[in-house]
Structure 1
Amino acid sequence: MRAIRSALDLTQEQLADRLGVSFATVNRWEGGANKPQKAARETILTLAAEAGIDVGADAEVSDGAADITRRRRGAPAGAPSTKSMEQMLWDAACSIRGEKDAPKFKDYLLPLLFLKRLSDVFDDEITRLSEEYGDLQTALEIAESDHSLLRFYMPPEARWAVISGRDNFEWPLDKDGKSTRPKDIGEHLTKAVRAVVKQNPDLAGVIDVVDFAAERNGERDVNPAKLRLVVETFSGPRYRLGLADVQPDFLGRAYEYLLRKFAEGSGQSAGEFFTPTEVGFLMAHIMRPRPGEECHDYACGSAGLLVKLQLVARELDPTSKVPLKLYGQELQAESCRSPDERDHP
């Protein structure tokens, strides 16, 4: 849906007018909350033809730009929808259920999810460099020598292929000549996030908020076998988190989804903890941000509203290269994530 709208250079309001529906309806379709009915699908297919996008008569048009964009770019057809991503998160949460209280699940899952996202984006960028310079090895050497070519540099031990066991990594020796190889997945994950922060200081306090190998009374907070199950869940081929695989604000949506599930599990209202996505986009459209403007949120949480302002600003003026100036503060450090543009390519 978003790909069609972008190709026709329409805002959500303009597309709603052409379809004879409300702005909120289009917003829900693009967010994956609802699917268009048959009459609307026929009109959407007509617009797709006008935009020069071949989605096929039976194509799904409700889940943002994901499916259509993948067809245009040649990405895997089995890439995840919003619903399957939510299922992935809940499967991962259930993998460590009983190990931690429900509200603490996110403290372990979100850094892992962020690590997976960083790694998949890194792989995408290495692929881009490979196409530019001719082969994978040359691309890796160039990336090692010039980290500025990448959004974030991922040290080898933190790349998901190594964490999941698909690739080998030769762990170095310490100053005493002993191997630094971690004893289990918990130690590996802790070493991985610390290595990422060392190479990318901007991520300090974002990705290294927990110690996956922490112990209490001689026992691990989270059993390594349980952590391995989470890694295996995130390693599924359908759950890739690269540039063309998920929407730019995926991490924020994941955070909100987990908050909602945990709130429901404890008999609370999720609205107490975050602003629902639809309301956030409505607020952003009401504000109609323009390139270069300053946007402040003094209780920003995971910065979801700030990110939505930037997304709407791009939607309103897709040709502008001037980003918004985003500022936020949050009392609860564990709620924060960087709204840096590099997180939302």
Structure 2
Amino acid sequence: MSQLRNHAAFIWSIAETLRGPYKRSEYGHVILPFTLMRRLDQAMEDTKDAVVAEAKRRRDQGIENVEPLLRRVAGRMFFNSSPLRFSQLPADPRHIATNLAAYIDGYSEHAGAVFANFDFERQIQRLEEHDLLHAVVSKMCEVDLAPERVSNLEMGYTFEELIRRFAESSNDEAGEHFTPREVVRLMVNLLLAGDEEALAGSAPIRTVYDCACGTGGMLSEAEAHIRSINPRATVHLFGQEVNPQSYAICLADMLIRGQDPSHVVRANTLTSDAHRGEHFHYGIANPPFGRDWKGEYPTVKKEFDAEGSEGRFAPGLPGKDDGQTLFLLQLLSKMKPAIDQSGDLLPDGGSRVAIVHNGSPLFSGGPGSGLSEIRRHVIENDLLETIVALPEQLFYNTASRRTSGC
């Protein structure tokens, strides 16, 4: 952990070079994408030359859609076909902005989307205008984030530490962006408890879904835990996130993990179910709480009225001042049926859900209210296994929360 703190501290020191032209609240817009770029650059170093050569050969042949071919050569879901390497950019200070833009253009589709969600072209121009671009890129090249020396899990810790620092420095709510790893581990342990036998086969397949996935910490922890039980398990991760920067970090993590990047979607879960009709073995989330959903209400209410008892929000709608239980209903709607129409157990049926809430959904709302009806649905359908009270001040810049497993 000391090495990870050193990485985060050094990267944070790079952020301090932005002081003046950038407000502290803006540091993350620059440093997070550069950190991702350095990580991706080192992750694809082993096949970089082969990808560049194949890209030139195929384009000389007049083939326009070379991405599937280059993914095969890269041996992963992402690549960069530019002859440039990130580490070479500081060697030409006069043209560093032009070369960096060309380097970014060489990314595969989903890798390029990572930086588009940071609006990174604008940041490059701004850094260049203030004569900061060369200094920042040079410093980032000193950071060693190669996957053989920094695992995906360790990289996740590093990002969480950086996000925490950026959030605290800007008086932002860091708790909105990620969940403390200790809480995630507890949730994953609850989620998988009792499934050891099902996971012990020769090649079990499991799907994990997070409807408010943030930077992807819960998904990555769930995958790691499943693989610790059975290294032969195949784990497919699915997520949805509305914040563009959190989504970008999650997308990069999925790419490096070899997950299908199309399974993680940037969209508002309440107004657009990006995984409509799909069901998963495990659902996990730390959704926003204590936040009103008045802006989403017209769309949600229209769906609620149109789909009735078959809809994802069928049990009821909470008050407009707090929409956290809508995410609970979203997760419940993604559970796999445990029995078929004749009442027989399905061989691959049933799911588990773990979600973080504050105390409000447990007690608020009188009889007949939306919250009361949601509670009734959970209890009467035997969906609640346990409620775990967490200590106060466990989440950054937040009061007490509680974890409930359904």
- Give me the TM-score of the superposition, normalised by structure 2: 0.50
1:324 aligns with 2:232: no
What stretches of structure 1 of length at least 5 have no aligned partner?
1-31, 33-62, 64-80, 127-136, 169-181
CA contact (8 A) 1:280 1:305 kept: yes
Residues 261 and 193 of structure 1: CA distance in aligned 2, closer, same or farther (over 3 Å): same
Tell me, in whole angstroms, the C-alpha distance in 2 between the residues paired with 1:267 and 1:280.
24
* Matched residue, 2:110: 202
- Give me the TM-score of the superposition, normalised by structure 1: 0.58
Residues 141 and 309 of structure 1: CA distance in aligned 2, closer, same or farther (over 3 Å): same
Distance apart, 1:243 and its partner CA? 2.3
Tell me, in whole angstroms, the C-alpha distance in 2 between the residues paired with 1:342 and 1:193.
16
1:149 aligns with 2:73: yes
Tell me, in whole angstroms, the C-alpha distance in 1 between the residues paired with 2:106 and 2:52.
18
Tell me, in whole angstroms, the C-alpha distance in 2 between the residues paired with 1:183 and 1:331.
37
CA contact (8 A) 1:212 1:222 kept: no
CA contact (8 A) 1:91 1:233 kept: no
Letter in 2 for 1:284: V
Tell me, in whole angstroms, the C-alpha distance in 2 between the residues paired with 1:108 and 1:157.
24
Residues 202 and 139 of structure 1: CA distance in aligned 2, closer, same or farther (over 3 Å): closer
* Larger RCO (CA under 8 A, 6+ residues apart): 1
1:308 aligns with 2:212: no
Which structure: greater strand fraction? 2
Residues 139 and 193 of structure 1: CA distance in aligned 2, closer, same or farther (over 3 Å): closer
* Matched residue, 1:262: 166
CA contact (8 A) 1:118 1:154 kept: no
Letter in 1 for 2:17: S
Tell me, what secondary structure is at the counterpart of 1:207?
Answer: helix
Structure 1 residue runs of 4 or more that deviate by more than 6 Å after TM superposition:
137-140
Letter in 1 for 2:18: I
* Matched residue, 2:7: 85
Tell me, what secondary structure is at the counterpart of 2:188?
Answer: helix
* Matched residue, 1:102: 24
Tell me, in whole angstroms, the C-alpha distance in 1 between the residues paired with 2:150 and 2:123.
35
* Matched residue, 1:271: 175
Number of residue pairs matched by the alignment: 233
* Matched residue, 2:136: 230
CA contact (8 A) 1:295 1:306 kept: yes
Deviations 1:251-278 (A, max 9, x none): 4333322221122223455324310122
Distance apart, 1:85 and its partner CA? 0.7
CA contact (8 A) 1:100 1:222 kept: no
Matching residue within 179, 183, 205 for 1:292: 205
CA contact (8 A) 1:164 1:232 kept: yes
* Matched residue, 1:14: none
Tell me, in whole angstroms, the C-alpha distance in 1 between the residues paired with 2:116 and 2:223.
26
Query: Bigger CA drift: 322-331 or 300-309?
Result: 322-331
* Matched residue, 1:191: 102
Q: Bigger radius of gyration, 1 or 2?
A: 2
Residues 278 and 124 of structure 1: CA distance in aligned 2, closer, same or farther (over 3 Å): farther
* Matched residue, 1:252: 156
Tell me, what secondary structure is at the counterpart of 1:242?
Answer: coil
* Matched residue, 2:298: none
Letter in 2 for 1:228: H
Residues 156 and 315 of structure 1: CA distance in aligned 2, closer, same or farther (over 3 Å): same
Tell me, in whole angstroms, the C-alpha distance in 2 between the residues paired with 1:212 and 1:274.
22
Matching residue within 122, 140, 160 for 2:86: 160
Tell me, in whole angstroms, the C-alpha distance in 2 between the residues paired with 1:328 and 1:138.
32
